[in-house]
Chains A and B, each alone.
Chain A
Amino acid sequence: MTGVITRVRTWARAASAAAVLVGLASVLAPAPGLAQEPAIDYGRFVPALVRDYALPAARDLRDRLQELESGVARLCARVDGAGDPGEAATVFADGFAAVVDAHGWLAVSRFGALADASALERLAFVPDARGVVRRQVTRLLAKEDPSALSAATLKDKSVALQGLTALEWIAFSPDGAVVLGTNQPDRAYRCAYAGALVTGLIATANEVESGYATPSGQTALLLSPGLDNRLAATPKEAAEVAFKALMTGLALMKDQVLERVLEPGPANARAARAPFARSHNALRHLSAGIEGLALAITAAGYPEGTKDARWIGNSLRFETANARAALAAVPADLGAGLADPEARARLVYVNTILSGLRGMLGGELAGHLALKGGFNALDGD
């Protein structure tokens, strides 16, 4: 529940800040035709994004992972995994779902501490279109590689073996049931690996939280643009890096999750393309990402950057609320949802909303703020 409260508070803070700014703007705004729109203050976006979005989101993820750690311990503490795991499995599944939710919320931002030292990939290896996690974890389980059983040595292994996606693979069956801690031949190895995974994930979440709280790495660079800054010479460039990262997060949700699961074909096979479909948390993750996108854009204050873009904040909240409501009405088992025409239509509707968001944010908002510039966009190379 802590995360939910944090999230509501963050939302309220961002909204109230926006309201104050709108109010101030209306008081201070000159009559039409008397003065030009003031220059955009690009320096405000990244600090607000870090303070009001990324940092609380990282703390939320860490807190939920700590709760999950006890869930893993409880699930694996039962003697020889005998009998019905019952409540322990439910607690673990709920804890895992909460972590997926927090991850979806944070991961959409993709900038700053999340981008340092492959932190985002270590938290979860997505999109994983070719089943790297499945292949690497299967190989690991077959070898019972001891180097995966402590967080200290696991961190030097493949990032695909370190994340929530690896934990999901060993903890859930293809139909979404919890199998971690049950009486499987390799139960002991799976439990030890799960423990190392969660310990490592907490360390990574702490690393990310610390990178935002006491700015270091990319966060520090984006907070202090200047001519000697390798990444951002101006506040505008810093704002562009963060904005582009958010747009990449949106593109991932639309192009690599929704569009891929909506392609023709067997429902269950298509559903498996979405991150966290195995544990029936794919839609939860997607919904959290959509919510996170709206919160991040709002917290950063991008729509408040210029008078002409202010309508975008309201529209963003409206559209993302519609998308989340539609997702909430689709069965958590995404395969079942895709097989049901009505539920599938809701997913198509969400995809349409995300298309509109891409045009509104990547087109209109970026245009109003004059945010541009791809890494390879300079000609002559």
Chain B
Amino acid sequence: MRSTAIDRRAFLTGCAAALAAAAPNVPRARAEDALAGLAGSDEPLFVAARRGSDGTYALAVTSPDGLDVLVIPLPGRGHDVALCPATGRCLAFARRPGTFAVLFDPLGQSGPVTFQAEAGRHFYGHGAFSPDGRLVFATENDFVGARGIIGVYDVSGDVPQRLGEFDSGGVGPHDILPMPDGKTLVVANGGIETHPERGRDKLNLATMRPNVALIDRENGALLARFELGTELHQLSLRHMAVSAGGTVWIGAQHQGAATETPPLLAALDAEKGLRLHDVAPRLRGTLENYVGSVALNREESVVAASCPRAGRMLYFAAADGRFLGSQVRADVCGVAPLDDAGFLLSDGEGGLLQSDAPDSAPLLLASRAGISWDNHMIAISPR
């Protein structure tokens, strides 16, 4: 979350002016109207990749009610967006096996900068900033060497510079997040080997070994690696959320037989290691073995996990991993904190929904015809 020291109304007014220069594809008056609606509340804006009605891809900064304030065209399908805690800038990555990334200011203070992955590498769709905002760590595939790596970029200048790389601690690294200590990165190594010449084919399902790795971001040293039992070697650990206390929540997809229905949410903390948390028995076998996104609400009491293939949202208690409830929503995937307790959800049919309680239907705030929101969404709050 951004600084709280800035007067919200004045800040949003300033944003609208900046957006006018940075985003000619959203008229200034329209951005002003959208931002004016937020001035009396503490609600955040949301950033996500999406597909438009004409099949083109873009990044969008939008209000919870689906009013755009900034739209940045992308050269291909995007995936996740990382937020810099120091500068408020964002970095969006191409969906795997894409090779572009876009550094941008979601409030229009500067224009977007696009850069490419190194030759022989592609992005996996996720990245994380260093606490000071100078460095970015991106999950990448060394597809010749069939190894997961973390590319390190200096984004302090006008054009991001690749400084080097280190091992991700496994194969197929996907999500990467900073830990609260500011020094450690947590990486979900999904364990699935792919090669861009084989599209999205999975090349090692019989031998895959996913893990969650803790890495010292300053020297790339592998601090710890956590694996599930060998019987769960096909449970690919992929998407994460980290609490202020350092608990890592991990969503999984199962690559084994459809008749196998292992738990799809794991938690990792220093004391208890890696544990699995399951849904209610009546839901087992209905989730298509796939979690697409994980988020904590602002007060960190609830973990939300989306199952877009099954069209269902899952909620768990952050205190003990207890299953709280679920909601049905077709193609739901993006999830981000909306307020202290609730979440904003997004789906592939243009929907933005307010979810206030795990056991009640989410409220549709916007339904944008022709828009398909991509897997992930983040909240940015100038309050």
Contact = CB atoms under 8 A, between A and B. Distances in A.
Interface of A: 110-111, 114-121, 126-130, 132, 135-136, 139, 147, 153, 156-161, 217-218, 221, 229-232, 244-245, 247-248, 251-252, 255-256, 259, 374-381
Interface in B330-383: 330-333, 347-351, 354, 361, 363-365, 367-375
A375 B29 CA distance: 31
A380 B173 CA distance: 11
Contacts of B54: 116, 217-218, 221, 230-231
A380 B253 contact: yes
A244 B67 contact: no
B67 A378 contact: no
B348 A376 contact: yes
B331 A375 contact: yes
B65 interface: yes
Leading 8 A-B pairs by shortest Cβ distance: A115-B370, A230-B55, A375-B348, A158-B33, A374-B331, A231-B55, A156-B27, A376-B308
23 contacts: A114-B369, A115-B53, A115-B371, A129-B363, A130-B65, A147-B29, A153-B29, A156-B28, A156-B30, A157-B29, A157-B33, A158-B30, A160-B33, A218-B54, A218-B370, A230-B56, A231-B54, A259-B361, A374-B330, A376-B309, A377-B331, A377-B348, A381-B79
Nearest to B368: A121
Nearest to A216: B54
Given A111-B369, A251-B330, A374-B330, 10 more contacts: A115-B371, A156-B28, A221-B54, A231-B54, A248-B350, A374-B311, A374-B331, A375-B349, A376-B332, A381-B96
A303 to B, nearest CB: 21
A229 B200 CA distance: 20
Contacts of A374: 308-309, 311, 330-331, 348
B290 interface: yes
Given A111-B369, A121-B369, A157-B33, A244 B53 contact: no
B367 to A, nearest CB: 6
Nearest to B290: A379
Interface in B303-325: 308-309, 311
Contact of B349 (A229, A230, A248): A248
**Secondary structure type dominating chain A contacts:** helix
Contacts of B373: 375-376
A378 B369 contact: no
A218 B202 CA distance: 33
Contact of A376 (B30, B363, B374): B374
A377 B374 CA distance: 10
B372 A375 contact: yes
B362 to A, nearest CB: 9
A376 B53 CA distance: 16
Interface residues of B, number: 55
A207 B348 CA distance: 25
A157 B365 contact: no
A36 B100 CA distance: 47
Given A378-B200, A380-B253, A221 B67 contact: no
A374 B373 CA distance: 11
B375 A132 contact: no
B29 A255 contact: no
A379 B234 CA distance: 13
A374 B332 CA distance: 9
Given A156-B29, A159-B67, A221-B55, A132 B37 contact: yes
Given A135-B37, A230-B56, A374-B331, A248 B370 contact: no
B146 interface: no
B51 to A, nearest CB: 7
Nearest to B28: A156
Contacts of A244: 349
Interface in B183-220: 190, 192, 194, 200, 202
B85 to A, nearest CB: 25
Interface in B24-70: 27-30, 33-34, 36-37, 51, 53-56, 64-67
A120 B308 CA distance: 25
A378 B37 CA distance: 35
Nearest to A148: B29
Nearest to B254: A379
A110 B369 contact: yes
Contact of A380 (B37, B192, B351): B192
B53 A217 contact: yes
B262 interface: no
Nearest to A145: B29
Given A231-B55, A374-B311, A129 B364 contact: yes
A77 to B, nearest CB: 29
Contacts of B34: 158
A335 to B, nearest CB: 20
A380 B202 contact: yes
B125 interface: yes
Counting chain A CB atoms within 10 Å of each CB, which of B53, B96, B309 scores highest? B53
A127 B365 CA distance: 7
B292 interface: yes
A376 B367 contact: no
Interface in B142-169: none
Interface in B240-268: 253
A130 B56 contact: no
B95 interface: yes
Contacts of A120: 369-370
Contact of A218 (B37, B53, B96, B292): B53
B347 to A, nearest CB: 8
A20 to B, nearest CB: 32
Contacts of A218: 53-55, 370
